[in-house]
Amino acid sequence: MTAAVRVLVVDDDAAIRDLVEIVLAGGGYEVRTAEDGAAALELVREVRPDLILLDMRMPVMDGWTFARRYRQQPDSSAPIIVLTAARDAAARSEEIVADGYLAKPFNVTELLALVGQHTQSA
Amino acid sequence: MAGEQRPRLGPQLRETLTRITEDAARLLGVEGAGLRLVDGEELVRVATYGPADAVMLRERLRLGESLSGRVAAAGRPLILGDSDDDPTRDPVYRGRAQLHGFRSWLGVPLRDRERVIGVLVMQSRAERRFRADDVRLLEAFAGQAAVAIENAQLLERERERRRQLEAVREVTVRLAGATDLPALLRLISRLATELLAVPSVAVFLWDEVTSTLVPRAWHGFGEWFGELRVGLGEGVAGVVALRRVGMIVDDYRSIPFAQPTVLERSGARAVLAEPLLYEGELRGVIIASLQEPGRTFTEQDRQLFGLFAAQAAIAIEHARLHLARDRALAEAEAARRRLDELVASVPGVVWEASGRPDAGQQRIDFVSEHVEAMLGYSVAEWLATPNFWLSIVHPEDQERAAQEAAEIFAGRRPGTSEFRWLAKDGRARWVEARSAVLCDEFGQPVGMRGVTLDTTDRKRAEWTQRFLAEAGAVLASSLDYEATIQRAADLVVPTLADWCTVFLLTEGGQTQRVAVAYADETKAELAQTLRGYPPSPNSPRGSVAEAMRTGQAVLSPEIPADYLENIAQDARHLEIMRGLAFRSSLTVPLRVRGEVLGALALFRCEASRRYDQVDLALAEDLAHRVAVAIDNARLYREAQRAIRQREEFLSIAAHELKTPITSLRGFAQVLLRQFDGKPARDQGVVRRALEVIEQQSDRLARLVSQLLDTSRLEAGRLVLDRQPTDLARLVREATARVQVNINHHTIGVEAPAEALAVVDPLRLEQVLTNLIDNAVKYSPSGGRIEVELVRAGEELLRLIVRDRGLGIGPEERARIFDRFYQAHGSDHRSGLGLGLYISRQIVELHGGSIAAEFPPDGGTRFVISLPAGPIRAAAPRAPARSS
């Protein structure tokens, strides 16, 4: 059996973390969650994700800072998808040169589709 | 005056006559004798021997009247043997004679050559006493007596003339001193009355204008006399004036040219008149008159009067000349004074100078006193120094002023030149010199004359207008706050000041030095060091503090010596300020809409440019415009900030709303999938989904509610539903509800058993919940939260919520009750930032107040004060919400 695709979900809202976890777990993904950028950085040292879903506005360390720091690390090739409630989600995505974005509130189906799309090669 | 007799017989003559009479009486051996002399048509009794009233009763007889009269008329002696012999004899006379016992009478005429000059009378008590040889004896005696009498009379006349000449000489002396014409004329008329022994004298002066003689002084006539105006040929005076020769009139009533008024009212009989002539010119007429009947003026009188008149005429002329000269002098004096006053009234310097205006030896010949007021140099200084006017011209204008003056001089035509003069105290005055050129008989310019006006005020006004217009344009050109302030400072230098500092009040109430501008680059370093000395905020001695405190400008034309010492913060500060060498200062507050924003401090370093009231007016005008510009820039900045805030809020609101919706919708979809069986049903998932749906929809509801409340508050449409409420119970119950959802904090409640107030319970619960939520948010590491309700007076309740968390920084404290306020940056927020804003509005709508305190041991303490208000007597309308 192939190893499950690992997805890292970074968001400060507990309900959203739970939602995404439940949905992706139901889709057969292995999900890890972190509540802010700092916790996320710790986690990626341990577990190398195949995809990162990243909220932008978080306390302690926000999405921008995480993205910068993550990319400075060696071996940081996972694609990043921006999760954002901002009006211009595309702009947020471009700000960190992400691989995609998902605007809140999003469709569960949409979520699964996007994750599937970016983890094909895994 | 009438009846006064002129003494025609001097004492010597009278004695002679008396002696003659006595000798005659003795010669004939009679008891009574008398002597009469002819006087015109009358015989006058001049001497008697024996009882006079018997010998000669009447003093005067007409020729032919009575015995003596008959002798004189006939020129032959007359004897009367007995008094009874002559029935024509006067009975009174006869009675007298009889009384004294005189019976015989003899009279013989006295002759001077053929003329009868008198009658000698002898009377005897004996009857028929006188015979022919008595007559011959008496005639012989009479002959000698006549000679003696004649001699005596001649002598008398001689004496009389000498006396009169003496009198005239005396009069002349007395007239010589008199220069006051009216007094002189009065003196003349009085002296004339004395001289001629007449009661009435009048002096007429010839009036060229009316061609009449006008009485100017008189004696012995009534007031009516002054009304007379005598033309040539009218009356005695008029005829004398016409003929220019004196005149004697024996009886005024008889002359054809008598003036009716004079005739009626004066009663004049004999009149003597002489013309007053000077170098052949008629000056007037002097007249003497008698009312006494029978008396007339003699030729001698006329000669005397003539001499007198001549002297009088001379004296009058002298007095006239004197008067004319005095009048001329007075007119000249008046003209000179008028000229002086005219010159003084000119609002400028009136001057006259000789020589080329730009030459070293040019001299001011006249300069009006105005020059002292204008420049402080005395007239003496102007006149004493050659080329003075040019020496006090401002150095920058000297060359041009000299050149322009020289051009006017050479051109010989009037011209104008503008330049500055330096007053004695160093101040500069702009002037406009209007000159004309003086030329000699050959048309060559020899000097100049003109008026120089002070145009400083006018020039200043023009310049001020231009400056303010420019300032307005510059200040209006930008709404950028910092740029505007710096531009304001730059405007002022160097035209209005050598150094300008702009001070502004910060939001914390501190005065800050915000911008500086200066003309002298060498002061740059000092300016830099000065930054280390912010203005001492409470220094009452500085003019900046004073200007801002009083709202009035502070003008120091000369900065007092000790001022710097008073405001210096230390020795180095003092040194810096001294190095800036300010001499004059003007500090103007920046005020707009009644509020003081700060101040403009202007300084000048040159003595010649001290600040004055005119500068102050301009600076105030400018300060006003600057204040308005700064105010506009601030308002603009605030408007910008408000716009940004709103945009930020909208983005936050969107974000905040989208977040719960995300999980709400997401889990709803998850649930639906559960029901569809993909993936396999999971109780845990279902449970979690429903939980989240419940929580998030609740959260969403609250957020929406806050937005709606805010919207209502802004529109003024939030309405309280007040009811009598037990606040203590409300506090306990609300706290209990909130505690349920809070895990890391404990909430302690302290409240009295009961606390009644008329409030909106739902809204107050909203406020309390908000405060507790905040307390939780601001103490992230858990801890204790205290809620307290206390009575603070008869009608005041206090609700206090205290946490021991992070607290709020001092810079933020003023803003926490603002809309959209987010503490701790926009990263770490939850909520819209509307909670405290709404809470405050609700509390204030209740008539209460809310404040945040920051106790020294950390955390935040919110204190709500609520008026307890009157409680309705009736039972509460609705019970407080039960838990």
Report chain B residues whose CB lies below 8 A from the CB of A108: 666, 669-670, 673
Report chain B residues whose CB lies below 8 A from the CB of A114: none
**What is the predicted pLDDT for the residue at B218?**
92
**What is the predicted pLDDT for the residue at A122?**
46
Q: Give how far B829 is from chain A: nearest CA, Å.
A: 8
Q: Do A23 and B666 touch (CB under 8 A)?
A: yes
**What is the predicted pLDDT for the residue at A45?**
86
B554-603 pLDDT, tens per residue?
A: 888 888 877 877 777 778 888 887 888 888 889 999 998 888 888 888 88
**What is the predicted pLDDT for the residue at B140?**
92
Residues of A with a Cβ under 8 Å from any B Cβ are 13, 15-16, 18-20, 22-23, 26-27, 57-59, 62, 85-87, 104-109
**What is the predicted pLDDT for the residue at B876?**
43
3-state secondary structure of B7: coil
Residue whose pair of structure tokens reads 């601030």 in the numeric block: B634
Q: Report residue B623 as tokens.
A: 């300060």
**What is the predicted pLDDT for the residue at B83?**
64
Residue B883 pLDDT class (50, 70, 90 cuts): very low
Residue of A57, A58, A108 lying closest to B666 (CB–CB) = A108
Least confident of B6-20, B339-353, B406-420: B6-20
**What is the predicted pLDDT for the residue at B215?**
93
Indicate whether B874 pLDDT > 60.
Answer: no
Indicate whether B333 pLDDT > 90.
Answer: yes
Report chain A residues whose CB lies below 8 A from the CB of B660: 15
**What is the predicted pLDDT for the residue at B151?**
86
Q: Do B659 and A16 touch (CB under 8 A)?
A: yes
**What is the predicted pLDDT for the residue at B224?**
87
DSSP character at residue A100: E
For an interface test with A, the pick among B827, B829, B830, B832 (most A C-beta atoms closer than 10 Å) comes out as B827
**What is the predicted pLDDT for the residue at B711?**
81
CA dist list (Å): A110 to A113, B514, B669? 5, 57, 11
**What is the predicted pLDDT for the residue at B6?**
39
**B790-807 core/surface letters (b: 16 or more CB in 10 A; e: else):** eeeeeeebebbbbbbbbb
**What is the predicted pLDDT for the residue at B843?**
93
Q: Do A104 and B660 touch (CB under 8 A)?
A: no
A66-102 pLDDT, tens per residue?
A: 999 998 888 788 999 999 887 788 888 888 888 999 9
Indicate whether B103 pLDDT > 90.
Answer: no
Average pLDDT of span B222-245: 89
B455-509 pLDDT, tens per residue?
A: 988 888 888 888 888 888 888 887 887 888 888 888 888 788 888 888 888 777 7
Complex ipTM, two decimals? 0.92
Q: B525 φ, ψ to 5°?
A: -65, -40
Share of chain B above pLDDT 70, in %: 93
Q: B756 φ, ψ to 5°?
A: -90, 140
User: What does the mean pLDDT of chain B come to?
Assistant: 84
Share of chain B above pLDDT 90, in %: 24
Average pLDDT of span B629-645: 86
Residues B141 and B164: their CA atoms lie apart, in Å, by 33
Instruction: Answer for the pair B28, B20: CB distance below 8 angstroms, yes or no.
Output: no
Instruction: Answer for the pair B520, B500: CB distance below 8 angstroms, yes or no.
Output: no
Position with higher pLDDT, B793 vs A8: A8
Least confident of B83-97, B381-395, B837-851, B857-871: B83-97
Q: Do A85 and B655 touch (CB under 8 A)?
A: yes
Report chain A residues whose CB lies below 8 A from the CB of B658: 85, 104-105
**What is the predicted pLDDT for the residue at B880?**
46
Indicate whether A115 pLDDT > 90.
Answer: yes
Q: Do B670 and A22 touch (CB under 8 A)?
A: yes
B695-749 pLDDT, tens per residue?
A: 899 889 988 888 888 888 878 888 888 888 999 999 999 999 888 877 788 899 9
Indicate whether B832 pLDDT > 80.
Answer: no
Residue B291 pLDDT class (50, 70, 90 cuts): confident
Residue of B659, B670, B826 lying closest to A85 (CB–CB) = B659
**What is the predicted pLDDT for the residue at B88?**
67
Residues A64 and A37: their CA atoms lie apart, in Å, by 9
Residues B162 and B303: their CA atoms lie apart, in Å, by 12
Residue B7 pLDDT class (50, 70, 90 cuts): very low
Q: Which residue, B515, B528, B524, B509, is CA-closest to B596?
A: B509
Q: Report residue B100 as tokens.
A: 């004294």
Cis peptide upstream of residue A105 (ω within 30 degrees of 0): yes
Least confident of A47-56, A103-112, B53-62: B53-62
Q: What residues are paired with B641 via a beta bridge? A: none
- For chain A, how are helix, strand and coil distributed in percent, rounded to 5? 40, 20, 40
Average pLDDT of span B841-850: 92
DSSP readout, B59-88? SEEETTSHHHHHHHHHTS-EEES-GGG-TT
Residues B172 and B310: their CA atoms lie apart, in Å, by 10
Task: Count A/B contacts: CB-CB distance under 8 Å.
Answer: 70
Indicate whether B104 pLDDT > 90.
Answer: no
3-state secondary structure of B538: coil
